[in-house]
Amino acid sequence: MAKGKSLNLIEHLELLRKVLIKSFVALGVGFVPMFWVAPSVMNILIEVMMSKNNITLHYFSPMEVFILQLKTAMLLDVLLCFPYIMRQLWHFVLPALHENERKFIRSIIFSSSLLFIVGVLFCLFFILPLIIRFGLGFVTENIQPVFGIGNIVSLALLLSIIFGVMFQFPLVTYALIRSDILPFEEIRRKRAYVFIGILILSGILTPPDIVSQLMLTLPTYMLFEMGLFFGKKTSQKMLNKENTLTISA
* Residues 154, 76 share a domain: yes
Specify the number of domains making up the chain. Answer: 2
Q: Report which of residues 73 and 110 the model is more confident about.
A: 73
φ/ψ region of 138 (left if φ > 0, alpha if ψ in -120 to 50, else beta) reads alpha
Q: Please report whether residue 1 resides in a domain.
A: no
Full residue range of the structural domain in which residue 227 is found:
168-249
Average pLDDT of the segment spanning 174-186: 74
Model confidence at 103: pLDDT above 70: no
Element (H, E) at 148: strand 147-148
* Residues 91, 196 share a domain: no
User: Backbone phi, then psi, for 147, in 5-degree steps?
Assistant: -95, 125
* Residues 176, 58 share a domain: no
* Residues 174, 106 share a domain: no
* Residues 216, 176 share a domain: yes
Residue that terminates a domain, selected from 147, 167, 187: 167
| 197 and 139 Cβ atoms separated by less than 8 Å | no
Model confidence at 1: pLDDT above 50: no
**pLDDT category of residue 34 using cuts at 50, 70 and 90:** very high
* Residues 181, 160 share a domain: no
Query: What integer pLDDT is reported at residue 24 of this predicted model?
Result: 92
Q: Please report whether residue 3 resides in a domain.
A: no
* Residues 175, 58 share a domain: no
* Residues 82, 196 share a domain: no
Average pLDDT of the segment spanning 72-80: 87
Query: What integer pLDDT is reported at residue 164 of this predicted model?
Result: 87
Residue range 148-165, pLDDT digits in tens: 888 888 888 888 888 888
Q: Please report whether residue 107 resides in a domain.
A: yes
Q: Please report whether residue 2 resides in a domain.
A: no
| 56 and 152 Cβ atoms separated by less than 8 Å | no
All residues at 6 or more sequence positions from 169 whose CB lies less than 8 Å from its CB, including other chains: 198, 220, 223, 224, 227
